[in-house]
Structure 1
Amino acid sequence: MFKKLCGLLFIFVWTSQAQDYFYKKFQPFNSDIPSPQEFLGYAIGDHHTRHDRIVSYMETLAELSDRATISSYGRTHEGRYLVMLTVSSPSNLNQLEQIKEQHLAFTDPEQNPTNYDEVPVFINLGYNVHGNEPSSSEAAMLSAYTLVASNNPEILNYLDKAVIFVDPTINPDGRDRHTQWANMYQGNPLVSDPQDAEHNEYWPGGRTNHYWFDLNRDWLLGIHPESRGKLAWYHEWYPNVVTDFHEMGTQSTYFFEPMKANGSLNPIMPKENYEDLNNIFGEYFAKALDSIGSFYFTKEVFDGTYPGYGSSYPDLQGGLGLLFEQASSRGHKQKTAFGEINFPFTIRNQYTSSMTTVKAAVENKAFLRKYQQDFFKSALSRAGNSRIRGYRFEDKYDPNRTKAFIDKLLLHKIDVYESGDGYVVPTRQPQYRMVQTMFETYSKYRDSVYYDASGWSVANFYNMKYRTVTSLNTGQKINSTDGLVKPAAIQRSDYAYVLDWDDYNAPAALHFLQSNGLTLSTSFKPFTVNSNNGPKTLNYGALVLPVPLQKKSPETVFKLLQKAQQQFQIPIYGVSTGYSSSGVDLGSRYIRALKKPKAAMLIGHGTRSYEAGEVWHLLDTRVRMPITKIPMRNFDRANLYKYTSLVMVSGRYELDEKQRKKITDWVEKGNTLITIGSASEWVIKKKMVKEELISSEKDSTKTVKRLPYVEAEEHLGKEEVGGIIVKVDIDRTHPLGFGYRDNSIPVYKNNSVWISPSKNAYATVAKYAKDPHIDGFITEKNTETFLKPAASLVVSKLGGGRVVLFADNPNFRGSWYGTNRLFLNALFLGDKIRVPE
């Protein structure tokens, strides 16, 4: 069947008759249940399997066997079903609701069950969160078949003592994107040359979901339907063990936990998780992989510091999250330094780890249950030992951003209560550790190199003002965000309407009204009017809609405003006079008409798909505004003059002088170029704008300290800015700052783009504060040399237009509600920026 070629990787000659290579040890099998090979018509590993066929196979297993049922926990952006196959003994499935009730008793700190070894352990085998890491979904079919069809005593014992939830494809949209690519370029005979098209996907690749988001970072943030559906399922079942199967570079072997030590100084997950459980399970995986001759490593890399992975979120819910990383064949067969690695080989390791997870969980189920019980009880005791009794937050100027933050808290089953004019989150609750994740910030760390961000206090993502409280004054508990925002009904006016720009949904409402033929203006100064709902004071950027100047009747205007309010739940006020009680009048020259923006974005080779997806997702799902995505390969023939704004996200742009001139000529005609991260760095280096970067000049005469070679990765890694939250001071009078009420806001920084404040006194919109640190690790050198002197947001004049340079990503992971406004202001108000010289 397979033949050993070398020491680190075992490579095999595969034939379509070799399927029992995977699961021969679990014979005999029920012949009435089709194997994956019999169902698909090809051997597992011969081709990449589409998601719909995987789902169909799972449905067939549930239809033919009394050991399995299937359900759906959601649909993807592209409409693919997210399914869960539940497998256990027929007896367990017949009384699953009673078993579930017994299981959940261990997650309730107020209950004290002691039947730890009597209740079946709950195991969630989760696969393929990264679409182009495909081996695990193939292994999911093998695992499901083994559990459903095997009559081996070992399997029957597992079914009696466990309920196994098989989630075969967490990211179906990405998987099918990659499956199409791999099968489309599959050769016959197979081509193992790493340069072959099969092993090199075109941008954006299959890793991400429809909007090019990494779903393995979305467990905490819960932005996408895949994650929100899974989180809802998770908090219904609270599994004891959760697997998270991945792939890594082809030249590697296989990784399983224990991970690298947690980077936090005082991790909020219990030591029993990463010191005891990981080591217990690790011994099982080592023995199983040794038995099939697979090489592996542990502890060297990867960390669970960020709580939003599929392998770390369960650790904060009383379960054990387990990460697996398989060297990828990136196709069906590929050359490596140790010979060839093929698709079936990668599948076998994932399948072996799947079945070993079930074995380890069953044999340690009493320990796992007691651990989960202690986890939730310790949440209350830990909270009781803290002087902090809760966190109070509010933003009376932006109820929809507040609503979005509360939705995030409720998604994680965090208790939230009304409290006076604001809201309060008590610390003493079962989800205390998630409360810590949402609000606590840190400045000291045990480690300085992270696999992901080191700062993630979610309240700061939302620019949510909060404070600790040492005593609680709670009102009604909030169970849903439905009806949480209740703007006063619009009172009709035949003169004018005003809309406050402070609300998160105001740009969406503006786009809706502009798309329906209405013309609105923006105010460059605050004012107070006597509206039909009483006196209202409006901030910089407030919108004014003069009714007599519209091309539509007053009745039609009113109905459109009603629709806008119904859709976006924003306050809109009718006024009967243009005379303001304070501030500018409605006919002031400081109130300027707005043009409807038309935006485009460069995508494709050289651009960062994550950031491009974040822009696309923001405009699609929250503003409901289309954006034209122009592939780099089409740039030369693209007509930029169809657009008012062009977005360039981070990337490695390879535009020549002629192509750069095409952009600058377009900007000079009065348009707006918006650059983010390294794209801002690029336009500065190419001297397309008259701005400068901060650099650290190396002193060639200085003696370099000699360091151990083996420590180079750690020493150099800590100088990177992996992900921190810092404070900036913004100019709220600048159009890019319209809608903010505070001069200081948190921003997210995960790059080394350091822009000097503009030499134009009016062009630095946001500069890092004197004391900028909020959360996350950054070296003193980076803080003093780069961060403190630098600007986060600068506008540079270019002819009759302007370039908006973001040093930091205002749309990071679809979650930075607090800085989305800066980006949306650049789109909607960019042409109103006149940079004085």
Structure 2
Amino acid sequence: MTNAQEKPSLSYYLPTDVTYNKNIPTPESVLGHEVGKWHVTHDKLVMYMKELAKSSDRITLEDRGKTFEDRPILLLTVTSTENHQNIESIRQKHVSLTEKSGANAQITNMPIVVYQGFSIHGNEASGSNAALLLAYYLAAAEGTQIDNLLKNTIVLLDPSFNPDGLQRFAGWVNMHKSEHLISDPQDREFDEAWPRGRTNHYWFDMNRDWLPVQLPESRARIKTFHRWMPNILTDHHEMGSNSSFFFQPGIPSRTHPLTPQMNQDLTKEIATYHAKAFDKIGSLYYTEESFDDFYYGKGSTFPDINGSIGILFEQGSARGHVQESENGLVTFPFAIRNQFTAALSTLAAATNMRTTILRYQRQFYENARKEAARTQAKAYIFGDEKDAAKAYHLAEILKRHNIAIHEVKNDVTVSGTKYKKGASYIVPRDQRQHRLINAIFEKRTQFQDSLFYDISAWTFPLAFNLSYNDLTSLGNAGSEITDLQAPTGTVNGAGNYAYLFEWNEYYSPKALAIIKSKKLRAKVAMKPFTLEGVRYDYGTIMIPVQNQRLNAQEMKKFLNYVAKESHLNITAVSSGLTEGIDLGSNNFEAIGNPKVAMLIGGPITSYDAGEIWHLFDQRYEIPLTKLDMRNFDRMNLSKYTHIILPNTYSLSKSHTSKLKKWVQNGGTLIAYRNAVRYLNQHKFMKLDIKKTGIDAKNVSFEQRRDHNGAQVIGGAIFNTKIDRSHPINFGYLKDELPMFRNTTVFVNPHEKSYNNPIQYTNSPLLSGYVSEENLELLKNSVPFQTTRMGSGRVIAFTDNTNFRAFWYGTNKLLMNAIFFSGMM
């Protein structure tokens, strides 16, 4: 390790077995400081990469889009000048290895493709700072060794997976850096302010978004991945300061069964190159003792289901510029050098194992085609006859993964489920991405291991609450969809009495929010009815024409705008006389004008809060005020109708007292996950929470962590039965609803059955891992309860209804809690 007060220099980092082109700018010549003296900000990182691209004919620079904060999402393609002149031909030949057309392709002279990505967690910054060195080395190094590397390798260099988080973290640690470096772990430099720099703008962990692809940074890198189909993808992270350096493979028993054994064997062989490089510089390391390759939504695992090899690197973090640890002082330059060393050892392995890895990629897809040919089920069909937008968004994800989808030729019924043309899709299984399709659609409840680094289930049709079935033929498949179009919306019919739209569509809450923002009156149907031959379900929204701020002509024009913006149809009707409740009935309840806030900061989990913020801001365009707990005692809460309390274990006594008073005066408090325990403990509501206990009588000291870990519900999918007449369930067509769960908060049902509108079934497990003990506790428990408190209301969800922005199927539960809380 470098001395904490020593100034870092290029000679500390760079290999000495090559010479360097003096016409290529060094990082210091552009940044104004040497790598490792300061944490590079993203704007400076971009500036340096642009200068390198100008100076080197080995590099082309691509701006692939913008983050939420309008930062560029850069990619450097690095290879020899000769390869650059034929880059598109090389790419096409390489991708052919994944197709039938590449079965006889000559791979002996084919370059290997390596995607090297850095710092998807913005406060794990040694990766992106090492990317400065890697880019310089690849541009400036000269000699036979580098010529051979560049001739035989296409390097896709992604210097910052998370530009917004990197910028946030760099600002924090740089502003707290002392001239004479402080290594005391209690210094403020190492204690970032909430929400910290790990996440992106909306506080998402982007290393969980490789499969859902909901964020702009993810969409850019997934597009690059599928365009190139790289052979190796590296993902550079940091971990606790007392750790050394980890490289994969991870724990063997925690590899997803769909990943071929050869993938793990090659990962292990590549690891010998890392070990040799780290032995040379004397840095400690370990492998196969932690982390896993199970959830395909992580950067180091997503490649494994795509014929590639994903490799995770974890460096013991300085979390600033230098910090004390069990291994001595961890300096920022030391962490950067280790990341840079791993980047070079990856390229050494890629060059030496090139033909073996290229053959593996080709064999992966040959085997996938054979598996597809053998399977009885020839396709999946999915959809929702009343929610075209939700089905569209799943189709959108599939298209982002280069999965072929077809329209449904005509309305069809499969196993009693109706699939409507325009709101349903067919996915043939005999295609290149056969294994990825399996990973997206499968339900799995049997596992080799009972511990998971992340979630154990992500079955997408269940996440979207879509109907889906196997098909034994493609007879109902229409044309392949090459240009997927979002559903359109319009106003149907003519009439000056009222307008109606159903609550089933995903964007119905957006439509209602726009209408209420215009200060128009709207009502919700508490019972079904039939009008002009159309049956309208619970939750149908009615906008009367008379006595509104807009005249009839203005109203129709405005609602046309609402329909288009919200991708749904609105129907004009000319009479209020129905079969069932008439439009003037008291069973149509007036909808208020919600003013929503959310508590953030302090003990609140930023991931959960960010998911809610993103849902309101990006999906439904509903204003959401974020109330920081630091200032909560001084805030005026009377302007808010609803306050959301994301996952937390506790609030202070003064915060609790203020929140109680606000609820008693008429506010609605909506709490999630472990906040449910807080509500119970502080008498916001009375809940019968089951006690959890683990028998550890025959557990050894060595086994204790695995024993306790097996009781964690890291993320699985469970079935519920729902009462569709209850306002919390408005908009749901079926009597069952799959829910995602990652807590062990089990609530017994209320004694009055109508107070249990959502209840887990007696056989609730749909997909994922849960221990037998927890499964027994979960049976017939309730994930939702609500009660009056003074003039206000308290609503409790034990489960996250907004998980990682792709759990579309339960997003509406929160919207129902906002718009219909007064009717509960």
Q: TM-score range by the shorter chain?
A: over 0.9
1:603 and 2:592 matched: no
Q: CA deviation at 1:452?
A: 0.1
**1:446 match: secondary structure:** coil
Q: In the alignment, which of 500, 503, 517 is matched to residue 502 of structure 2?
A: 500
Query: Displacement of 1:11 after TM fit?
Result: 5.3
Q: State the SS of the aligned residue for 1:308.
A: coil
1:311-326 to structure 2, matched below 5 A, reads 311-326=300-315
Q: Does 1:193 align with 2:184?
A: yes
Report the alpha carbon displacement of residue 807 of structure 1 after superposing the two structures with TM.
0.5
Q: TM-score, normalised by structure 2?
A: 0.96
Counterparts of 2:159 and 2:741, CA distance in 1: 35
1:643 alignment counterpart: 640
What is aligned with 1:4? none
Q: Name 1:7's counterpart in structure 2.
A: none
CA RMSD of the aligned region, Å?
Answer: 1.4
**1:383 maps onto 2:372 in alignment:** yes
Instruction: Kindly state the Cα deviation for residue 705 of structure 1 after the two structures are TM-superposed.
Output: 2.5
The one-character-per-residue Cα deviations of 1:257-299 (angstroms, maximum 9, x if unpaired) are 11112536x711211101x211110100000000000111100
Partner Cα distance (2:730, 2:448) in 1: 40
Structure 1: how far apart are the matches of 2:5 and 2:232? 33
Q: How does 1:501-540 map to 2 (within 5 A)?
A: 501-530=503-532, 535-540=533-538
User: 1:764 matched to which residue of 2?
Assistant: 756
Q: Can you list the C-alpha shifts for 1:184-212, whole angstroms capped at 9, x where unaligned?
A: 00011000000000011011000000000
Match of 1:708, SS?
coil
What is the alpha-carbon distance in structure 2 between the residues aligned to residue 453 and residue 696 of structure 1?
21
Residues 26 and 697 (structure 1 numbering): CA distance in 2 closer, same or farther, change over 3 Å? closer
Q: Which residue of 2 aligns with 1:64?
A: 55
The alpha-carbon deviation at position 500 of structure 1 amounts to 0.6
Corresponding residue number in structure 2 for 1:5: none
Could you tell me whether the CA contact under 8 Å between 2:383 and 2:468 is conserved in 1? yes
1:159 to 146, 150, 153: 150
From 286, 304, 309, the equivalent of 1:297 is: 286
- Superposition pairs for residues 240-639 of structure 1, below 5 Å? 240-263=231-254, 267-274=257-264, 276-419=265-408, 420-421=410-411, 422-473=424-475, 474-482=477-485, 484-487=486-489, 489-530=491-532, 535-580=533-578, 582-639=579-636
Q: Distance between the aligned counterparts of 1:766 and 1:13, measured in 2?
A: 57
Q: Write the mapping of 1:118-129 to structure 2, written as runs, cut at 5 A.
A: 118-129=109-120
Runs of 5+ unmatched residues, structure 1 = 1-9
**Correspondent of 1:735 among 727, 733, 748:** 727
Show CA shifts across 1:614-655 (max 9, x none).
Answer: 000000001001100000011111111111100001113232
Partner SS, residue 546 of structure 2: helix
The letter for the 1-side match of 2:235 is: D
5+ residue gaps, structure 2: 412-423
Residue correspondence of structure 1 range 74-89 to structure 2 within 5 A: 74-89=65-80
Aligned residue in 2 for 1:209:
200
Report the Cα offset of residue 520 of structure 1. Answer: 0.6
Counterpart contact for 2:491–2:572, Cα < 8 Å: no
Contact 1:671–1:831, Cα closer than 8 Å, also in 2: no
Partner of 1:228: 219
Separation in 1, partners of 2:173, 2:218: 26
User: Percent identity at matched positions?
Assistant: 37
Report the AA paired with residue 538 of structure 1.
Y
- The answer on whether the counterparts of 2:462 and 2:738 sit within 8 Å (CA) in structure 1 is yes
TM-superposed CA distance for 1:708, in Å, is: 2.0
- Distance in 1 between residues matched to 2:101 and 2:279, nearest whole Å: 43
Matches within 5 A, 1:676-715: 676-696=672-692, 705-715=697-707
Partner Cα separation in structure 1 for residue 40 and residue 456 of structure 2: 37
Aligned-partner Cα distance in 2 for 1:163–1:12: 36
Gap change, CA 1:13 and 1:24, over 3 Å in 2? farther
Distance in 2 between the 1:655 and 1:736 partners?
Answer: 30
CA positional deviation for 1:110: 3.8
CA distance in 2, matches of 1:17, 1:579: 81
Is the CA contact 1:262–1:304 (under 8 Å) kept in the aligned structure 2?
A: no
Compared CA separation, residues 371 and 770, structure 1 to 2 (3 A):
same
Verify: 1:664 aligned to 2:660, yes or no.
yes
The answer to whether structure 1 residue 95 and structure 2 residue 86 are counterparts is yes
Query: What's the CA shift for 1:18?
Result: 2.6
CA gap of 1:369–1:11, structure 2 versus 1, over 3 A, is: same
AA aligned opposite 1:60: E
Deviant stretches of 4+, over 6 Å: none
* Residue 517 of structure 1: how far off its partner (Å): 2.1
The separation in 2 between residues aligned to 1:24 and 1:545, in whole angstroms, is 71
Deviations 1:526-559 (A, max 9, x none): 11111xxxx3211100000110121221111111
Which of 791, 810, 814 is 2:782 aligned to? 791
Residue identity opposite 2:498 in structure 1: A
For 1:557, the aligned partner's letter is: M
Task: Call closer, same or farther: CA 1:144–1:665 in 2, change over 3 Å.
Answer: same
SS state at 2:811 partner: helix
Cα distance between partner residues in 2 of 1:234 and 1:18: 34
**How big is the shift at 1:417?**
1.1
674-683 vs 21-30, which moves further: 21-30
Structure 2: distance between partners of 1:336 and 1:225:
36
- The equivalent residue for 1:755 is 747
Is the CA contact (8 Å cut-off) linking 1:390 and 1:425 kept in structure 2?
A: yes
Rounded to whole Å, the distance in 2 between the matches of 1:247 and 1:588 is 61
Partner SS state of residue 814, structure 2? helix
**C-alpha separation in 1, matches of 2:651 and 2:782:** 26
Give the CA deviation at 1:13.
Answer: 4.7
| 1:780 and 2:772 aligned | yes
User: Cα offset for 1:761?
Assistant: 3.5
Distance 2:85 2:275 in 1: 35
Aligned with 2:426: secondary structure? strand
Determine the C-alpha separation between the residues in 1 that align with 2:7 and 2:692: 59
Contact 2:649/2:677 (<8 A) preserved: no
Secondary structure, aligned partner of 2:766: strand
Q: CA deviation at 1:697?
A: 6.4
Structure 1 SS opposite 2:599: strand
Which residue, out of 88, 96, 99, partners 1:105?
Answer: 96
For the Cα contact (< 8 Å) 1:395–1:402, is it kept in 2? yes
SS in 2 for 1:709: coil
For 1:413 and 1:599, the matched residues in 2 are separated by 39
Counterpart code for 1:478: I
Give the 3-state SS of the residue equivalent to 2:757 in structure 1. strand
Cα deviations by residue, 1:386-433 (Å, 9 ceiling, x for unpaired): 222111112101111111111111111111112232321111111111
Q: CA deviation at 1:491?
A: 2.8
Q: Which amino acid aligns with 2:798?
A: A
> Which residue of structure 2 lines up, in the alignment, with residue 133 of structure 1?
124
Mapped contact 1:14–1:344 kept (Cα < 8 A) = no
Q: Is the 8 A contact 2:93 2:102 kept in 1?
A: no
- Distance in 2, matches of 1:262 and 1:223, equals 30
Report the AA paired with residue 819 of structure 2. Answer: F
What letter corresponds to residue 272 of structure 1 in structure 2? Answer: M
Moved more, 689-698 or 520-529: 689-698
| Letter matched to residue 271 of structure 1 | Q
